[in-house]
Each structure stands twice: as structure tokens, then as C-alpha cells.
Structure 1
Amino acid sequence: MNTVDPIAEVEAIVARARAAQNAFERDGSQLAYDRAAQAAAWAIMEPSRNRHLAELSVETTGLGNVPDKITKNHRKTLGLMRDIQHAQTYGILSDDPATGITEIARPMGVIGAVVPSTNPGATPANNIINALKCGNAIVVSPSPKGVPTCEVLLSYIYAEFDKLGIDRDLVQIIPGRGSKEKTQRLLEIADLIVVTGSQNNVKRAYTSGTPALAVGAGNVAVIVDETADLAAAAEKIKASKTFDNATSCSSENAAVVVDDIYDAFVTEMARTGGALIGDDSKIMSKLWVKGHLNPQAIAQDADKMIAALGLTDEVPADTAYIAVETSGIGPEHPLSGEKLSRVLSVYRAKDFDDAVRITRELQLHQGAGHSVGLHTHSQDRPLTLARAIPTSRIIVNQPHTFAAGGSFTNGMPFSLSMGCGSWGGNSIDTNLHWRHFMQTTKIVREIPANEPAVEDIFGDYWSEAGQ
């Protein structure tokens, strides 16, 4: 019986991708790149396909829920297409006589993309669209549970490609049920790596020897201060926390509530479906089983999660999420970390300064560099928080899940991958977007000399420090 060498299989896939990319670039145009991106986008946005991908995703991964997957597939893709619609990714980008530099857009080559099971449709689609927009080929390596959805997504993309005569080899998948060995080889031989998912994959990407764009872990904390619109804050936290059953890395994991309005905010949480549990040990004993998050609770609908936590008879029937009072932070206090479930830890702060302290400690424990939220009417406190917390994003008065990854009501690029800067061990501190999938060639011409006198540079320094 003949067996396929997994390494050779990956190398053959990348070779085909490289040949297709070379032709795509050689014969390229802005129109060709745009059409390929539009084909991939419509493959996931077409309503019947979108629904099937959402249903298949939930069925095969057991994570999230179908209506929210449909919304995510649609809005994330539509927002991305808005962002890139007028972006120039082909030809001469600039020609500056003053510097003598002409800048020309160039693709990266073959992108290797590692994508998670939490978003097995939307995340690869996002990466594929960005790659094609910039003239690249892309090879996707999904998590084992995400393979069926990725395979169907690619079949839809191929159907659109065939309408336009676009080479299918521009978008490929590592076949099989997922393999660390295959993924590792992809990381080694691609021209650029994009990784969203486990921190193990992120570390492997950064040590592969290939340029990598990888993102850190989320563990979002949101502060609710004494000036906030409590009803609006509760509504936004509920909408964000429960969306797609908290599969997003931008889902709130902790609320840090100032003492003056604590009781009033708990009332608003209850009104919007957040049931407060005072005994955190009761939650910890059920949410973690043998040191791991309980799979019966992770990314499940409210009723299933509540049953898994043994709370069916203890919370109202309309409970949408569990809010659990706690105070500990660190490795010995698992509620202070990411929970991937409809469970929100609630910390009581003496005042705003104390809330900043608690939030900083939460971020330093887990999720540094990702993002934090703030519900406030103060104009100054967002800046105070931005200077105090090791984070790349301060989301103000918005539902965090929808805002951090780009929204039609803010200016962040639409993305499912949020860079976390040096705080999170990442090379970028922005949302992963189309510009990361492109590089440039510079033509450099000689210009008249522009050499300053030494005193023009150091005159003010000498006047203060002396020569």
C-alpha cells in the first residue's frame, strides 16, 4: 500500500501555490487582484453558502451558534471588503521628485495561514481575501475540527474562481485532519506566516525562520466607572459577551466595577440577563475539570452552559450569561483568565484608580497587549487608562467583541486577528489587515544633496548642555 509522505505533500502544495502566484503577479493588475478578492468574499457571503458554513462550523466544532456565525461571516467580510475597496495594491504607489523615490507595490508571495476552530469560516476567508487583494497565493492550515468548514469554504471559492478563470492553486488547504508535522513544514517554506489561534502555534510561527504575523491571547477586562450610563453599559456587555457564545478573543472576560455604582450595575446586569453568583468556588469546581476548561461549557448556548455548571435551578430561566463575583488574580485564580464561555468575572474596585490597578494586574496575568474596555462619560479617563495599561486598544463605550475587530461605527480595520505588540509577544500592535500582506520595491534616484550643518542639529543641545 502506497502512503503519501506528509512533508512531500505540503511541499508539492506550496510549489503549486508558488507557480500560481508567479503567474498571478506576472500577469497581474489591480482589477485582477480585486476580482479575485471579490470572488473569495462572495463565496462566504452568498446567503445560502453563509448559512451552510455556519451550520457546518457549529456541527463539527461544537463551538458558537449558527445565527451569530452567519452574522459574523457576513459583517466581517462586508467590513473587510469596504476597507479594501479603494486600496491600491498593484503598480506605482507613489513617485516623489523631492526624495527621488518611486514606490511599487509587490506581493509577499505564498502566505501560510494557520486558523482556529473558533472561526473556521470567517478567519480563513479574511486571510484569503487580504492575500488575494495584494497578489499573493495562500495555503490554509485549519485546526482539526475546522477542516470540514475550511474544505467547503474552498469549494465555494473555487466555484467563484471558475466563473472568472482564476487559478484554483492560488488558494489551497493542507489536506487531512490537521497535522503538526504538516503545519510545521508550511511554516518553514511559506514566504509569510499568519497565525491566529493557540499560543503554541504562535510560538512555532515566530521560531520557524519565516517572517510571521501572529497574535496574542485575549483576556478582555472592561471598567465600568461611576460616570457611566449603566443601562447602556450592561446592554453592550451582554450583547458582546454572549455573541457566538463567547468564541471571540475580544469577548469580555472580566468587568471591573467601581464601588459607588456596583449594586446599581449588578441590577442592570440582572435586567439584561446576567445572573450574579457570589460564591466563585461553585463556578470554578464546574468550569474547570482536571485543570482544563469543561468542554460542556465552552462556547455553548446559555442553557447548556448553565446545566454544565449545575446552576439550572439557581438562576432565572432567561439568564443569558453568568456573572461571578471574585477577587483573585493570577495562575491560582483561573477566573482571572480567558474562559471561552458565557461566564464573566466581576471585580469590585474602590474607585477608578483601583479599577485601573485591577485591570492592569489582569492584563499582566493574561491578555497583555490585546485590549481593554471602558464605560465612562469622562473625557480624560481613556487617556489615563491608555498610559497605565499594557494594551494596544482602549475600547470606549462600545460592545467590545464588535468594536475591537472593526465596526461600522468606529475606525478600526475589520479583522479577526488582533496584534498585541511587544506586550503580547507580537510583531504588530494593530488589527491584521491588507497592508500586512504587501511589500514594496523602491526605485531610488539621486537628488541634490541635503546635508545639514552640525550646528543646525546640535545648536539647541549645546545651549543647554554645552559642547
Structure 2
Amino acid sequence: METFDYDLQSVQEARNLARQAKLAQTQLAKFNSEQIDKIIQNMVRVAEENAVALAQMAVEETGFGKVEDKTMKNKLASTELYKFIKPMQTVGVIKDDQVNKVVEIAEPVGLLLGIVPSTNPTSTTIYKSIIAIKARNGIVFSPHPSALKCTLQAAKLMHDAAVAAGAPANIIGCVSKPTMNATNELMKCNEVDMIIATGGTAMVKAAYSAGKPALGVGPGNVPAYIERTANIAKAVKNILTSKTFDNGTICASEQAVIVEECIRDQVVEEFKRQGAYFMTPEETEKVAQKLFVRGHAMNAKLVGRSADVVAASAGITIPPGTKVLIGEQKGVGEGYPLSYEKLTTVLAFYTVKDWQEACEVCIKLLNNGGVGHSLAIHTENPEMAMKFAEKPVFRILVNTPSTHGGVGISTALAPAFTLGCGTWGGSATSDNVTPMHLINIKRVAYGIKECAESTAAACSDCETRPGSPSAISEDQIMSLVDEVLTLLKKRGGY
């Protein structure tokens, strides 16, 4: 019986997908804005119709999150995204500056490689498909192996919807035999022009090391500061709403709560009233031991799980209806495990003297795996919000759940599942990624300023000036050359 090497099959499949998608993209590049909008409208319609089914598939396959929240994410990635990007000009002349006489023309990037995480597989696939097509790009997806089926289905639905509305066949592809070698092949093959990487730190670093343009996003370790003027009940509600949304699988979700001593008791009581459970030091240690493997890597079995599941895994008993587990921490970094990113229903808790100490703790947390990403602050003092705007992040989310604020559900930020962390976080952009990040801009620039004559032309009379270099005769030049050659011969250098 003939056998085949799975890894080789995977690499060959990746090559075929890239070649087919690249060919399709060269055709899509000729489409006008009306044709592109017709395609996207059909993709959005199909995504909306399948939002629940895809959410169910994702939860069943990965075990992460909640169906109702993944449904909302699928709708954000399609319907809400379309509302935001519809006015964007991504085809042909996008700006004509009559004053400065510069015409800007949009050109597609080409073929994209979309790396998809297991935490948000279907929503990320829908989102990247739509922003790729909006900019007239093709895209090939590399799915996470643990979310293969639902990612494949989302990619197929987006492809078929695009083709049904007039897009070339194979414009959207997805690897069905995911391996690291297949992903590496796509990262480095000539057909791929840009990488959009959403995933773990190692994958994002690999994308930036592939030798071609990449938009990668790092992890978030979002601090949430409740300042003394905050509406405490609202702040606590926002934090719990965010942390329980899809059981904390979005990287913009809060990871630690920082409160001032003067309001600590009120905050703790409010968290308890709204369904949080404060663990004892012993319980916190048990949970921390289960949450992490190989140092500070999240245990996949507890990613996106309910508080009940996390508690049961650690062997601790919690009150019925508990939404989130909270563990107090006295520091950040080694020895304080809850100070690291936790994509599940667990929060760290810090008490500080004042806002200056809150600043210090926030910066330490951000430098512990979330620099450049996001920070949440709850305050009724606009000046305090601006003080925290000085922190090393690119999303300062005020009086809103940080998950919802970061991805554009509760704020006017661009709806997105690729949240740039800027140079601080090792990312090429600090923005929520949109189709405008996926185009090249060509410029036609007319001359509008007169240039002065060159110095050489203006000084043509210097040739006749005595003592100038150009007044040296040919005989003098030959004499100098002979002297140099004679000197070199004497030194043995010629």
C-alpha cells in the first residue's frame, strides 16, 4: 500500500493555494469599486446568516468561549465591519489635491497570508477575508490545528459568497492540512506579498522574520485602573462584562484590576455583589498552578473557560453563579503568576496608595507582556484619563469594557480582530487594522516649484579664471601622473 508524507502534502497544498490565489488576485485587481462592494455585501450577508452556526462549530471544536459571544464576534466581523469600511476609498483615485497637484491612486498589496488563532477562529477569518477583498487582495489562511474545521468552514463560506457575487475562483483559500512547514512555506513563498498574523508571540515573531511586509499583533496584558472618582458600580459591571465576554478569549480583555486604598473596600464589596469570587492565597496558588504550563504559557485546557471549570480544575469550591475568580497579587513578574496574561475568567487584583502608584503598577504589568496594546481606566476626572494616556499603550479605554472598547463594539475605534501594538509591542502599526493598511498608494505629482539653475552652469566663466583647477594644461596633468607612477614603483606598489 502506497503511503504519503502528511508534512509534504501540507507543503504542496500550501504552494498550490498560494499560486491559485495569486492568479485570482491579478484578476480581482482590475475590478472597480462597485464590483468590489457587491462582492463584500454578499460576503457580509452569508456571514450574518451563518454567524450562529459558525459560533457553535468554534465552541464545539475548541472548547473555548460561549456561542452567544462568538456569534456577536462573527457579526462584528461582518455587518458592523462593513458599516465602518463601506465609505473607504480603496480603488482607483482616492485623492486629488488640486492645490498641490498630487493625485493618489490605490493599488492592492497583492496576496495576503492570514494566520488565524484558535481563540477567535471564525470571526478572524471573516474579518480578514472582508478587509482583504475590500482592498482587492487575495488571501490564504493558515488555521490553528485545534480550530481547523471551523476555520475551514468560515473560509469556504467567504470564498463561495465572494465567487457567487463575481469574484474570481480561489481568491480565498485555507490550508486543510496545517503544519508549521506549511505556514513557513506560505510566509516565504514568492506569491505571498504580506502577512497578517494574529496569534501567539512565537508565530508573530516568525511572521516578522519572514523577510516580507507583515502586520502582526502581540499579546495584551491589560490593566484596569479604578480611580477614586469612578462610578464604582459601573466600573465593576464593565470589567465583569468584558472579562466574561467569550470567557476572556480576546486579547483586549482585562487582566488585572488596580484600585486605590481609599475605595478598596467598596470595590471589593461591589465585585462580590456582582458575582466575582475573591480567592484565598492558597486558592490563588492552586489556580495559578493549573493556569500555566512551561513557565507563563497558558494551559490550553483552561483558555476561554468559565469560572466553574477553572475552579474545578484547581480543586477549589466557589459559590454558585460565580462569574470571575480574583486573586490578590503583591507584585509583578516572577513569583506573581497572575500578573501575566490570562485568556480566561481569572483576574489579578492590586491595591495602591494613589494614582502615582497605580501608574507604576500599570507600567510594570504592561512591560510584563502587554506593552503597546491597551489599558482601561474608570474615572470621572478627564485630567486623570489624560495622565494615563501617557502610558506605553495605543488604546486608552475610558469607562468602557476593555474587550468591547478595544475591538470597536463600544467605542468608535475601527471594528477589528487585529489590534496593532506599535513599535513598543514589536508591531508595524499601532492601529486597529482596516483595508487602508492593505493598499499601496501611488502618487502622481506635478511640478509646482521652479528650480534654480545648477551651480556649474552659473559658474561657466570660472574656466578662464587664472589658478582654477580647470586651467591646468594637459602636459601638466601627464607630468603629475608620471611622478605618481615613479613613486609607486620605488615603493614596490605598482
**Shorter-chain TM-score above 0.5:** yes
Give the 5 Å matches for 1:317-328: 317-328=320-331
Q: CA deviation at 1:162?
A: 4.5
Alignment partner for residue 19 of structure 2, among 15, 19, 25?
A: 15
Aligned residues: 443
Displacement of 1:331? 3.1
Counterpart Cα distance in 1 of 2:82 and 2:66: 24
SS in 2 for 1:347: strand
Alignment partners' CA distance in 1, 2:9 and 2:148: 20
SS at match of 1:328: coil
Alignment of 1:49-448 (within 5 A): 49-176=50-177, 178-189=178-189, 190-279=192-281, 280-288=284-292, 291=295, 292-312=297-317, 315-387=318-390, 389-407=391-409, 409-448=410-449
- After superposition, the C-alpha distances for 1:210-267 in whole angstroms (9 at most, x for unaligned) are 1000011111111001110000001111100011011010111100011100010011
Paired residues of 2:39 and 2:166 also in contact (CA < 8 A): no
Query: Does the 8 Å contact 2:221/2:368 carry over to 1?
Result: no
Cα pair 1:287 1:294 within 8 Å, conserved: yes
Q: Label 1:293 to 1:90 Cα distance change in 2 as closer, same or farther (>3 A).
A: closer
- Residues 148-184 of structure 1, C-alpha deviation per residue, up to 9 Å, x if partnerless? 01111123224423532322311001221x1111111
Give the aligned residue type for 2:424. W
Question: AA paired with 1:241?
Answer: K
Of stretches 96-105 and 195-204 in structure 1, the one that deviates more from structure 2 is 96-105
Deviates more, 1:351-360 or 1:9-18: 9-18
Q: Partner amino acid for 1:436?
A: H
Q: Structure 1 residues 288 and 8, CA, compared in 2 at 3 Å: closer, same or farther?
A: closer
Q: Distance in 2 between matches of 1:262 and 1:43?
A: 48
* Post-superposition CA distance 1:21-47 (Å, at most 9, x none): 111112x1001111222222222211x
Secondary structure of the corresponding residue to residue 393 of structure 1? strand
Measure the CA separation in 2 of the matches of 1:70 and 1:254: 26
The change in CA–CA distance for 1:326 and 1:380 in structure 2 (over 3 A counts) is: same
Give the corresponding residue for 1:455.
none
Give, in angstroms, the shift of residue 411 of structure 1.
1.7
- Residues 98 and 447 of structure 1 are in contact (CA less than 8 Å); yes or no, is this contact kept in structure 2? no
Gaps of 5+ in 2: 453-494
Shift of 1:289: 5.2
**How far, CA to CA, are the matches of 1:289 and 1:105 in structure 2?**
46
Give, in whole Å, the separation in 2 of the partners of 1:276 and 1:294. Answer: 21
Report the Cα distance in structure 2 between the residues aligned to 1:15 and 1:443, rounded to whole angstroms.
Answer: 32
Rounded to whole Å, the distance in 1 between the matches of 2:260 and 2:286 is 24
DSSP-derived class of the 2:142 partner: strand
The separation in 1 between residues aligned to 2:46 and 2:72, in whole angstroms, is: 15
Cα distance in 2 between the residues matched to 1:158 and 1:426 = 29
The one-letter code sitting in structure 1 at the alignment partner of 2:258 is: V
SS of residue matched to 1:104: strand
Q: Cα offset for 1:440? A: 1.3
Q: Secondary structure at the match of 1:392?
A: strand
Q: Structure 1 residues 290, 391: closer, same or farther in 2, change over 3 A?
A: closer
| Amino acid of the structure 1 residue aligned with 2:357 | D
User: CA RMSD of the aligned region, Å?
Assistant: 1.7
How far 1:288 moved relative to its partner? Answer: 3.2
- Where 1:7 maps in the other structure, the secondary structure is helix
Q: Is the 8 A contact 2:218 2:427 kept in 1?
A: yes
Contact residue 40 and residue 162 of structure 2 kept, 8 A: no
Mapped contact 1:38–1:129 kept (Cα < 8 A): no
Post-superposition offset of 1:296: 4.0
Using the TM superposition, give the Cα deviation of residue 11 of structure 1 relative to its aligned residue in structure 2, in angstroms: 2.2
Residue number in structure 1 paired with 2:28? 24
Residue 52 of structure 1 and its aligned partner are, at CA, apart by 1.4
Indicate the SS of the match to 2:167: coil
SS in 2 for 1:132: helix
How far off is 1:5 after superposition?
A: 4.7
State the secondary structure of the residue aligned to 1:99: coil
Aligned equivalents of 1:400, 1:12: Cα separation in 2: 40
Shift, 1:449, TM fit:
2.9
Q: TM-score, normalised by structure 1?
A: 0.91
Return the alpha-carbon distance in structure 1 between the equivalents of residues 188 and 383 of structure 2: 46
Residue identity opposite 1:191 in structure 2 = D
Q: Which amino acid aligns with 1:91?
A: G
**More off after superposition, 93-102 vs 205-214:** 93-102
| Cα pair 1:297 1:309 within 8 Å, conserved | no
Q: For the structure 1 residues 298 and 98, does the alpha-carbon distance in structure 2 shift closer, same or farther, using more than 3 Å as the test?
A: same
Tell which structure's C-alpha radius of gyration is larger. Answer: 2
Q: Deviations over 1:260-281 (max 9, x none)?
A: 0001001110111111113132
Runs of 4+ in 1 over 6 A off after TM superposition: none
Q: For residues 416 and 91 of structure 1, what CA distance do their matches in structure 2 show?
A: 27
TM-score (norm 2): 0.86
Alpha-carbon distance in 2 for matches of 1:165, 1:420: 36
Aligned to 1:462: none
Question: What SS does structure 2 have at the residue aligned with 1:169?
Answer: coil
Q: Which moved more, 1:224-233 or 1:73-82?
A: 73-82
Do 1:92 and 1:103's aligned partners in 2 also have CA atoms closer than 8 Å? Answer: yes
